[in-house]
């Protein structure tokens, strides 16, 4: 018997569905969160060009000919997060990077590095860990925070890739007898529903996904009615949501980060 064909990856399935939709629809909106392969991106671009179908990707991050990307302003998001921590007195900050397969990961990290340089916050390699699991629960951030703590480095704040990893990281800190935000402040990204109900409630950067969806839909309608020309990218501003997981420290206070 011939060998079974490999199962398509989530990104290829998403692009495949978008191409199928393009064949029968007047327009397509692609909600992205995973990097798309170049071959799949080229295939979608080819379909849209052949059928003159307007396509908008929400958080696509890969530039594809003929497709409008609605993306968050990651540089502004990084500035919001780091300026907030800096204003609270934090100078020793740890970072949880996103998974290599996440569409936001590289852009968000580049923005953090640039914003940290501008503000004057050093980024030490010993205080940087990276997510690698494809799960959507707080378990995502727990082991990487354990890894960070095992290095014996000292820090007073953590910038997490997203809210799920932030919530998991807070639990790891608390299990190591460190208080949040008493010993370590934590800030997330996304503003998922659970962020406001966690203990402590999570300070985060709100990614206005519903607004991005509305912008994508309006862009499609404008293109169909001929009232708007093609735009390669539409940038949406994020918002800082301050809750309970961050607080000011004294600049002379010994930095925390090790288990007590």
Q: What share of the chain has pLDDT > 90, as a percent?
A: 59
pLDDT band at 53 (very low <50, low <70, confident <90, very high): confident
pLDDT of residue 70: 92
Whether residue 248 has pLDDT greater than 90:
yes
Task: For domain 74-206, give the fold.
Answer: Rossmann fold (3.40.50)
Whether residue 18 has pLDDT greater than 90:
no
pLDDT of residue 1: 46
For 96-154, write each residue's pLDDT tens digit. Answer: 999 998 878 999 999 999 999 999 999 999 999 999 999 999 999 999 999 999 999 99
User: Residue 129 in 3-state DSSP?
Assistant: strand
Sort strands 203-206 and 185-190 into parallel, antiparallel or unpaired.
parallel
Sheet holding 233-236, edge to edge: 28-31, 55-58, 67-72, 233-236
CA distance 163 to 67: 29
Domains of the chain: which residue ranges? 10-72+208-237, 74-206
Kindly report whether the global pTM for this prediction surpasses the value 0.75: yes
Cross-strand partners of 240: 205
CATH code of the region 10-72+208-237: 3.40.50.2300
Sort strands 28-31 and 93-97 into parallel, antiparallel or unpaired.
unpaired
pLDDT band at 21 (very low <50, low <70, confident <90, very high): very low
10-72+208-237 and 74-206 have identical folds: yes
pLDDT band at 197 (very low <50, low <70, confident <90, very high): very high
Give Cβ neighbours of residue 66 (< 8 Å, ≥ 6 apart). 45, 48, 49, 55, 230
User: Residue 112 in 3-state DSSP?
Assistant: helix
């Amino acid at each position: 018997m011939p060998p079974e064909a490999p199962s398509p990856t989530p990104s290829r399935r998403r692009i495949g569905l978008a191409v199928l939709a393009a064949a029968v629809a007047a327009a397509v909106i692609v909600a992205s969160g995973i990097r798309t392969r170049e071959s799949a991106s080229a295939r979608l671009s080819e379909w849209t060009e052949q059928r003159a179908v307007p396509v908008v990707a929400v958080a696509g991050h890969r530039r594809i000919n003929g497709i409008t990307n609605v993306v968050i302003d990651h540089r502004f998001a990084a500035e919001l997060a780091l300026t907030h921590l800096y204003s609270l007195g934090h100078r020793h900050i740890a970072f949880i990077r996103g998974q290599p397969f996440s569409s936001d990961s590289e852009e968000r990290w580049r923005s953090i590095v640039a914003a940290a340089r501008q503000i004057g916050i050093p980024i030490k390699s010993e205080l940087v860990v990276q997510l690698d699991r494809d799960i959507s629960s707080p378990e995502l951030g727990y082991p990487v925070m354990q890894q960070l703590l095992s290095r014996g480095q000292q820090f007073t704040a953590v910038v997490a890739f997203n809210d799920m990893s932030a919530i998991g990281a807070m639990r790891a800190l608390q299990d190591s007898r460190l208080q949040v935000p008493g010993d370590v402040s934590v800030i997330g990204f996304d503003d998922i529903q659970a962020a406001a109900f966690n203990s402590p409630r999570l300070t985060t950067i709100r990614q206005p996904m519903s607004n991005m969806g509305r912008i994508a839909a309006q862009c499609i309608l404008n293109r169909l009615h001929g009232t708007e020309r093609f735009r390669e990218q539409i940038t949406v501003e994020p918002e800082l949501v301050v809750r309970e997981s961050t607080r000011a420290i004294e600049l002379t206070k010994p930095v925390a980060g090790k288990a007590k």
